[in-house]
Every structure is written in C-alpha cells, then in structure tokens.
Amino acid sequence: MQLTKVKKKVSVSVSKTIAPTFPEGAGSALAYKTDYNGMSALSALTVEMWIKTSDTMGGLLSWAASGIGNDFLLYLTSSSTFDIWVGNKNYEVTTTKNISDSNWHHLAATWTTAGTVTLYVDGTAYAATVASGYTAYATALTNTSAISNDRLLLGNDQDRDSAGAITLDPTQTFSGSIDSVAVWNSAKTFTPTTYKTAITESDTNLVNYWSMDESTGNLVDSKSGMNLTTVRTAGALTTTTETTFLKDFSSSPTDFSKSGSALTVGTKGLGGGAGVTIPSGSDEIWTLNNPCPITANNGTYAVSGYFHNVSNSGFGALGFSTNLSNSSAGSSGAPGSNSFLGVAFHGGGIYFLNNGAITSLNNASGDITLNNWYKFIFSISETNATTFNLKLDTYNSDANGALSGLFGSLSTSVTNTSISTFANLYPFFSAEGSRFNALDNFEITLTGV
C-alpha cells in the first residue's frame, strides 16, 4: 500500500513499508540509479524525505555527474547540523532540532539559481550559509543529457577518483531508515502544519517519487519510472511494516467511544486550530473505535498526543485497553476495569499503569511548565506473551506542534498475564482534574505488528 503522509486537517489510517537500516562496510548504500537525469539542468530544486536515526553522520542523498563529486548532496554532520552541496559548492546548516533521537523527521532541502539554499526540518525553515572558501552556486545544475555515468545514491556520499570512477567511503554511510523520497523542479515551502502533506504522482513540479513501499526488488519511482536498484553489502533487503493512525480533530470526533461526556472540539488545538477541549475538573476516558491487533511478532505499539498544560492539579493518560468500553472509575486517568497498559502523567512525574498496579517515576527535568504544549509518546514493546517494556518520551513543543527537544524519557518492564489472551488492543486517552485543557494530534504507530 502506498504511503500517505498526512497534513493538518486530515484524519487517515495507513500502512507503510520503511527502508531498512543501512549496513556498514565498503560500498554500503541502500539504493542507486545510474544515468539519472531527474535533476539535469534544473534552475530550482527541492529534495524531500523522511528519516529516522540515532546516527550523527552520513550521506542521505547524493547525485554525482561526470567529473563532479557533489552536484547535489544532503549530508548529516551532527545531530543538528547538515552540509548541503550544490554544483560542488558547500553550504552549511545549523538547526535547533535533534535529528538523531530515533524519531521520524521530515527533511526538505531547496535551492534556486539565486544561490540560496534552505533546509526545512519538520516544517521549520533554516537558511544555509556558504561554507568558508566557497561561493554560492547560482547557475543551472549540470546538464547530464550527454553523460552516461552520472548516478543518484541513497545512504552514502559518493566521490570520483582521478580516473572518474565513483568511490564510497564506509565512514560516510548513513545508519537509519529513509522513507518517501521526492525530487521537485521548484523550491517548495513548508510550515510546521503543512510538512506532512501527502505526495501524489499528479502533483505539479514533481520529478521523482520513491514511496519506499517495496519489500523486495527495486524501489519504484511512481512518477517518472527512474527506479532505484537496491544494494545491501550485509545481507538481503528487509523491511519493517509500520501502521499509523492520526486524528487531528478537524472534524467531529466520531472515531471515539466515551466514558462520559462526548469529545468537544474547539479552537484550542495546535496553531490555534481544531483540537479537543478538555473541561476543567474532567474525569473522562475516550477510546478509539478501531482496535490494534495483538500479534506474536514482538512488535511495538505506540500512542501519542499533544497536551496543553494549564494547571498544577490532575493527570493526563495514554494507553491501550483490551475493551472498547472503558469506565473512568480508575484513579489517575486509568480505566476502572478491563486489562490495560498505559501511563498517567502529572507535573513532575508519571505512573506506569498495569491493570491495577502502578509504577511511579519522577522526571529528572522536574515539573512541566504551565501554559506549554508537550508531546507525550507512550510505547509498549513485547518481550514475550507476558512481559512488556513500557516507555514514555516527553517532548517540548511550541504552539504549532514543532518539537524543540526531549524533556524526559522514563521506562520500566512489567508482567501482564491477561493482555495476550485478547485479540485486540484499543488505544485511549484520558483526563482527570484540571491539568490539561486541550489535546491535539492523537496518533497510533504499530511497528512490526
């Protein structure tokens, strides 16, 4: 199934096949295309992709024409910095994002013949500066119509030796995952609320689009037929299946069952848009109608949401229950019945929820701040049928949903003998007290399930 990235004001459930972790070693790369002419003679360019990594260095996408090693190169130089090469001219970009946090990030590098380069990270724009010793590149890209050995490469930098042969340096290999790679013949713009816009083959100015949905064989360019040949020096190409559901509450929330009051959608969401309004003094649980299947694949189940913190009293909670109907009779935002795994969060700490048992942990960073948005990501990893690793990652967010760093990460391991006897898990979120007044972008991610 083709990957559909989503933008604000869209609710969608999709499955995607993700490019595998890259191997290390001489000649390492994910895929390549010789005689590639998608960027040939362009006067404006956007290279767009999603990446997920803990790596801090490596080539993401490289285009090398005859006699030139870096006609275009997007290269990660640290957890927050990049080199972008255009026409063998070096540009440098410093961002405020932590790219190496093992979460998915959207990247888009743009260039025009004005000599300007911009890098967008999750919709936030960062202007590139020309590196010392170089000048801006302000003419059209190399025309490769008469060149027979130019090459596009994913997963490494590529250089040419004195004889013109392309060489790869294993120390420049990117380790991580790449998804949804696109090339455009215009300098696109992105914002924190539009960068998830779905790509379709009919989009104006789209040159190439590799959705990365193929588990075997070549990676298909659904726009222009410039398929990428896959390369693995350390074994066969493998993939991970990930299913995502995102609800941004731009329409009536009919996807949820309630324990008491129905969800109220107001204008307290991210960017001042639609979001769930949480009344002061709440004690409610809302459960997603669509269940997640329980498998024996030792997969990972994750549920996340953006919460707006306005008070020092109360809890928010996220988790998975074995039943669609959940009572709010439990304490700290936990269901009052059924089997469940979840997490409740308050000002300075959290409670991991395991049926009726609670594991209390404190944030090393202290209390969350009033009137700030936070993204909470709760994940369950199966060790076996009765043992589960629970984790909560909390991220600082601005009012538009742009993340600015990890606030805290807490984890524990629990035993639950009842979860695996059920066929499905139902994601839920809840609120108790007055701590949070709004929620937005409720998202489910299943990996390897």
CA distances to 115, 120, 296, 299, 366 from 108, in Å = 17, 5, 37, 30, 35
Beta bridge partners of 228: 219
DSSP string, 231-258: --TTS----EEEEEEEE--SS--TTEEE
What are the backbone angles phi and psi of residue 420, rounded to the nearest 5°? -70, -10
| Segment 296-336, tens digit of pLDDT | 556 788 999 999 999 999 999 999 998 887 776 667 888 87
Residue 28: CA atoms inside 13 Å, Cβ hemisphere, count? 22
Answer whether 388's CB lies under 8 Å from 341's CB: yes
Q: Which CATH architecture describes the domain 248-447?
A: Sandwich (2.60)
CA distance 130 to 128: 7
* Beta strand 340-345 pairing with 349-354: antiparallel
CA distance 226 to 361: 51
| Segment 336-379, tens digit of pLDDT | 777 899 999 998 889 999 998 889 998 888 889 999 999 999 99
Same fold flag, 21-237 and 248-447: yes
Residue 414 or residue 257, greater confidence: 414
Query: According to DSSP H, which parts of 28-187 are helical?
Result: none
Mean pLDDT of 1-15: 27
Domain-by-domain residue ranges, the chain? 21-237, 248-447
- Supply the pLDDT for residue 385: 82
Answer whether 49's CB lies under 8 Å from 104's CB: no
Average pLDDT, the chain: 82
Which CATH number describes the domain made up of 21-237?
Answer: 2.60.120.200
Whether residue 148 has pLDDT greater than 90: no
| Cβ atoms < 10 Å from Cβ of 386 | 14
Q: Give the predicted TM-score (pTM) of the model.
A: 0.64
pLDDT tier, 93 (very low <50, low <70, confident <90, very high otherwise): very high
Q: Which of 201-215 are b and which e, b meaning 16 or more Cβ less than 10 Å from the residue's Cβ?
A: eeeeebbbbbbbbbe
Q: Which amino acid is at 245?
A: F
| Segment 377-401, tens digit of pLDDT | 999 988 888 899 999 999 999 998 8
CA distance 444 to 240: 16
CA distance 335 to 354: 10
Q: Which amino acid is at 173?
A: T
